[in-house]
């Protein structure tokens, strides 16, 4: 332990006591353990067929090659619908969903947090209650709503089922709770209208929460195959995730196209990884703020 402290001093790093060093070592070990699935998915995509079915499976590839990606491109080239169409649909749907979910979530959270209209607690409780429903439990009602609205086989059929995201509303509401009411009142005294307060005060102060919601919304829309399966009849309207999910479907041989599936899994994972790395700082800020209000209230009650 003394040698570690001396090493920290030589490297001009903050000196920590024994307990802090022990916790840091444990966190490093846990971090390496948490990185193993990411390391595995990158290595798995580069494995030849001789390594894909080894038991027990290897984390690290021994003879990496691009055979799986070549197989994926051959399958995509033989598809009746160009793979670029699926990619365009996924990008368009993901961007539209991120914008729509973020806007709807903050627009819902703002009046619940700051205007406190009659029954706002009941409304918020109902929103939180919807987190208890499994996705399978709402598939039939969701299908009926989309069908009655006449948006089957359209991009709106992709967007609409994803707009209601209770987790996003919760995070936005908890973050908006931290904005002082005096700041909003000062804006009203200066003659600001309601929309101006929302646009120039609420939204800029909620950017960490907006970034967090953007991550969650992108992950939900990018890997979503429900809307393509239930609401889209034409293959031209289906997304890239649906196309990749069909690579190993209806095949009599369970070994066939497993390499292409491994490469497809990596391709689906990389955008999520980049989005998370880009916004992860703001996401940590949001998670920290989401619990502050509750702890303050419980502290006041205890006093």
> Domains along the chain?
2-65 (no CATH), 75-293 (1.10.3720.10)
Please give the Cα distance from 193 to 211 (Å, whole number). Answer: 26
pLDDT score recorded for residue 31: 84
Q: How many CA atoms lie within 13 A of 236 on its CB side?
A: 1
Q: Give exposure, 72-106, as e/b (b: 16+ Cβ within 10 Å).
A: beebbeeeeeebebbeebbeebbebbbebbbebbb
pLDDT score recorded for residue 285: 60
pTM: 0.77
Coil/strand/helix, residue 147: helix
Pick from 170, 172, 190, 193: which is nearest to 182 by CA?
Answer: 190
For 68, the token pair is: 């799986």
Pick from 144, 159, 141: which is nearest to 227 by CA?
Answer: 159
**pLDDT tens digits, 14-44:** 555 566 777 878 888 888 888 888 888 899 8
Distances 272 to 77, 96, 264, 269, 276 between C-alpha atoms, Å: 25, 16, 13, 5, 6
Beta strands in 134-176 (DSSP E): none
Residue pair 50/258 in contact by the 8 Å Cβ criterion: no
pLDDT score recorded for residue 292: 46
Spans in the chain with pLDDT lower than 70: 1-19, 248-256, 281-303
Please give the Cα distance from 198 to 228 (Å, whole number). Answer: 35
pLDDT score recorded for residue 102: 92
Please give the Cα distance from 223 to 271 (Å, whole number). Answer: 10
Contacts with 214 (C-beta within 8 Å, 6 or more apart), sequence order: 98, 102, 275, 279
pLDDT score recorded for residue 289: 53
Residue pair 200/136 in contact by the 8 Å Cβ criterion: no
pLDDT score recorded for residue 299: 43
């Amino acid at each position: 332990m003394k040698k570690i402290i001396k090493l920290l001093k030589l490297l001009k790093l903050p000196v920590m006591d024994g307990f802090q060093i022990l916790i840091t070592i444990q966190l490093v070990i846990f971090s390496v353990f948490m990185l193993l699935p990411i390391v595995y998915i990158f290595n798995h995509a580069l494995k030849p067929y001789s390594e894909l079915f080894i038991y027990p499976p290897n984390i690290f590839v021994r003879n990496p090659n691009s055979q799986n990606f070549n197989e994926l491109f051959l399958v995509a080239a033989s598809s009746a619908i160009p793979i670029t169409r699926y990619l365009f649909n996924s990008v368009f749907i993901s961007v539209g969903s991120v914008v729509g979910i973020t806007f709807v979530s903050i627009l819902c959270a703002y009046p619940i947090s700051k205007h406190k209209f009659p029954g706002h607690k009941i409304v918020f409780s109902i929103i939180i209650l919807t987190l208890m429903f499994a996705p399978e439990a709402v598939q039939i009602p969701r299908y009926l709503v989309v069908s009655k609205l006449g948006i089957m086989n359209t991009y709106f059929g992709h967007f609409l089922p994803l707009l209601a995201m209770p987790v996003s509303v919760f995070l936005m509401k908890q973050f908006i709770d931290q904005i002082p009411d005096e700041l909003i009142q000062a804006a009203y005294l200066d003659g600001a209208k309601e929309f101006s307060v929302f646009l120039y005060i609420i939204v800029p102060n909620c950017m960490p929460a907006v970034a967090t919601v953007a991550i969650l919304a992108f992950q939900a829309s990018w890997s979503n195959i429900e809307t393509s399966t239930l609401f889209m009849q034409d293959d031209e309207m289906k997304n890239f995730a649906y196309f990749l999910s069909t690579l190993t479907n209806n095949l009599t041989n369970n070994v066939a196209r497993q390499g292409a599936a491994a490469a497809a899994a990596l391709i689906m994972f990389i955008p999520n990884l980049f989005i998370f790395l880009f916004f992860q700082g703001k996401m940590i800020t949001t998670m920290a703020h989401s619990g502050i209000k509750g702890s303050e209230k419980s502290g006041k009650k205890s006093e």
